Chain A
Amino acid sequence: MAQPHKSFLDWLGEHLFSCPFKTHFGIDCPGCGLQRSVLALFRGDLIASFKFYPATIPLIFLVIFTIVHLKVDFKFGAQLIKIVFAGVAVIILINYIYKIYTHQFI
């Protein structure tokens, strides 16, 4: 194989869903960067993942924790889910405002 190795993640990176908001208005929506961030996380690059979208890591933790909680039924589970969810919402809001102020729309 003379061709350089192309992994599934590379293929996935070229076939992301395009954001309809971004295609119409030309600027990012509050959810933009999530897919790139998840891809970076799959590659093991935590810092790049955080830079693309800071809420990805808590969001994935939240999803996994919810699945486990629904199976195991932690005593504190619902409370923790609420707190992490509110944190994710705040991170998304701050991230979007920060993007607007620093002209970081990619």
Chain B
Amino acid sequence: MSEEQENPQENRPIDLSKNQNPEPAPFQPLDQGPATPPPFQQPPPFQQPPPFGQFGGGGFGQQNLPNATASLVLGILAIPACCFYGIFGVIFGVIAWILGAGDMKKYQLNPGLYTESSYKNAKAGKICGMIATILSVLFIVIVVLMIAGAITNPQMFDNFIKGLK
């Protein structure tokens, strides 16, 4: 529409006669215009988050975060699991931490899509996983120190253990 006015060189009739090229350019009807772009389509409107106050069970079209429950359960199980040299505590805690953090990111990218209660669960799972990981790592450090002590200086280590009892 307005493109014909913007580049008038293409439709100038003098161009054809003065053109060094013997073959005339193929005739283009004026009404079509040169390669008009397709009509601009508006992107779909941004999904608005639903009105505040829709807790529990989710609002319309909302779903729970996929790993919130798993993160919470693993985070809590990580504390009783710390018995076996803290290894299971670290595994459970780190998994809960990663799942919780991933779900928190997912929620922050698209807050309207997921329920707020599951976001809170994911957050709680992440924090529980962090605490359990810290505790288990502390215990593992103690175990490693004791093994190192037992290897390097067995006599002193025996006295140390006897002193503890």
* A positions within 8 Å CB-CB of B: 19-21, 25-27, 29-32, 34, 59, 62-63, 66, 70, 73, 75, 77-79, 81-82, 85-86, 88-89, 92-93, 100, 103, 105
Residues of chain B lying within 8 A (CB to CB) of residue A29 = 83, 85, 139
Q: Contacts A20-B85, A26-B165, A85-B128 hold; do A73 and B57 have CB atoms under 8 A apart?
A: yes
Which residues of B are interface residues toward A (Cβ below 8 A)?
Answer: 55-57, 69, 72-73, 75-76, 79-80, 82-85, 117, 120-121, 123-124, 127-128, 131-132, 135, 139, 143, 146, 161, 164-165
Q: Assess the B85–A21 pair: CB atoms within 8 A.
A: yes
CB within 8 A of B76: which of A19, A31, A81, A105? A81
> Among the listed A70, A82, A93, which residue makes an inter-chain contact with B128, where contact means beta carbons less than 8 Å apart?
A82
Some 25 contacts from A to B, beta carbons below 8 A apart, are A20-B84, A21-B85, A21-B143, A27-B164, A30-B135, A34-B80, A59-B80, A62-B76, A66-B76, A70-B73, A73-B55, A73-B117, A75-B55, A75-B117, A77-B120, A78-B121, A78-B123, A81-B124, A81-B128, A85-B79, A85-B128, A86-B131, A88-B79, A89-B135, A105-B165
